[in-house]
Amino acid sequence: MRHTRAAVMRAALRLLDEVGLDGLTTRGLAQELDVRSPALYRHFGSKRELLDHMAATMIEDAFAHLARPGPGQDWADWLAERGRALRRGLLTYRDGARLHVGARPVGNQVVTSESVVEVLGEAGFPPEEARRVILVIGRYIVGWVVEEQASAGRPAEGESREAADADFEYGLNAILTGLRASLDGVRASLDGEIR
């Protein structure tokens, strides 16, 4: 039976949820799909490519309901919304964050990054700084979720889901406050050059 690339991806994500990243093999995926392992290579040239596409699919799902900032919406509020959506998306799957560690952007993920750079550019960030903003926030969130998923079932004494959410928000807001200050510095510098 032939499977579409999308069907293979969804099966791989289901299997990830069942067996975790360490247990995910192309042989296991082939068994899940009732095909021979070489059939998977019609869609993906290597396991690394499969993992990159799984990570991209998770991000696409996480951001599916998000659009560009609405009229008058603050760029930092928009980025915070995206950050929360990414965290939820990574937490959706067992080892979701570990899957993203080292994943290369593929497909629509590249377009999505370019649109975020564009939005940040409209807010006043130079392109290179906008790229760094994406990296800083993304790495904060992936690292945060790696820790959350590593300690799943073993919360710190007295820690609740609400406390973990509040701690996450504190870190995200600290980053955004710093980025806002950086942007204010860029604007002040540009104003000084113009005068």
CATH 3.60.130.10 fits 48-194, yes or no: no
Instruction: Provide the b/e sequence for 60-98 (b: ≥16 CB within 10 Å).
Output: eebbeeeeebeeeeebbebbbebbbbbbebbbebbbbbb
**Averaged in consecutive runs of 10 residues, what is the pLDDT profile of the chain (195 residues)?**
82 95 93 88 88 92 90 93 96 95 77 83 92 93 94 66 92 96 76 58
> Considering the entire predicted model, what is its pTM?
0.86
CB 17 within 8 A of CB 94: yes
Q: What is the model's pLDDT at position 109?
A: 62
- Residue 118 has, within 13 A of its CA and on its CB side, a CA count of 9
Written as six digits, the tokens of 170 are 């504190």
Instruction: Provide the b/e sequence for 133-154 (b: ≥16 CB within 10 Å).
Output: bbeebbebbbebbbebbeeeee
Q: What is the model's pLDDT at position 25?
A: 92
End-to-end CA distance of the chain: 69
Q: What is the model's pLDDT at position 102?
A: 86
Q: What is the model's pLDDT at position 190?
A: 60
Single-letter code of the amino acid located at 169: E
Q: What is the model's pLDDT at position 134?
A: 92
Write the CATH number of the domain with boundaries 1-45: 1.10.10.60
Rounded (10°) CA dihedral 54, 56, 59, 63: -130
H helices within the chain, ranges in order? 5-23, 26-33, 37-40, 47-63, 75-91, 96-100, 108-123, 127-150, 161-194
Q: Where are the domains of the chain?
A: 1-45, 48-194
Written as six digits, the tokens of 10 are 């969804």
